Amino acid sequence: MNGQGERIEVNSDQDVVRVRQLVRTVAVAVKLSLVDQTKLVTAASELARNTLVYGGGGTVEVTKVDNGRKPGIRIVFADQGPGIADLDMAFTDGYTTGNGLGLGLSGARRLVDEFDIVTAPGEGTSITVTKWCR
């Protein structure tokens, strides 16, 4: 029973805040623990900022999911930006092409249960993360 998702266009700083608030609301609704809520919202904040800064804007879609045993949340971050050429580098702690700390991708991956990335140079980036209730 994977429900209908809610979609937010990410084109500015305010939109990143709106993504955080939406993810928080849905996380509370599926009854994630406080620590898991915090981890998921933090990961969403990192990835939404990446969508904005590196992808040149895009969309974020938040969906309630259920794998039959427990509920969870799935978030898809999609952009039509330049894509990522070297994924291994992108996942290295401290590596950045911008002026961040280089913890966005690698850090966000540690904060969620499932992390999928589809990207190619010139073809944009799509990242799907899932967090399950314990």
- Residue 124 and residue 118: Cα distance in Å, rounded? 8
- Closer Cβ to other proteins, 15 or 79, answer by number: 15
Within 13 A of 15's CA, how many CA atoms are on the CB side?
A: 20
Interface pick for other proteins out of 103, 115, 117, 128 (rule CB under 8 A): 103
Given a contact cutoff of 8 angstroms between Cβ atoms, the answer to whether 130 and 72 are in contact is: yes
Phi and psi at residue 7, to the nearest 5°: -115, 140
Sign of CA dihedral 60, 44, 129, 104: positive
Residue 97 binding other proteins, by CB under 8 A:
no
- Window contacting other proteins (CB under 8 A); options: 70-78, 79-87, 93-101, 120-128: 93-101
Interface pick for other proteins out of 16, 76, 78, 129 (rule CB under 8 A): 16
Q: Least separation, in Å, of the C-beta of 120 and other proteins?
A: 25
H-state helical runs in the chain: 13-29, 34-53, 87-90, 104-111
Count residues binding other proteins (CB under 8 A).
Answer: 27
Give me the residues that bind other proteins (CB under 8 A), please: 13-14, 16-17, 20-21, 24, 34-35, 37-39, 41-42, 45-46, 49, 93, 100-101, 103-104, 106-108, 110-111
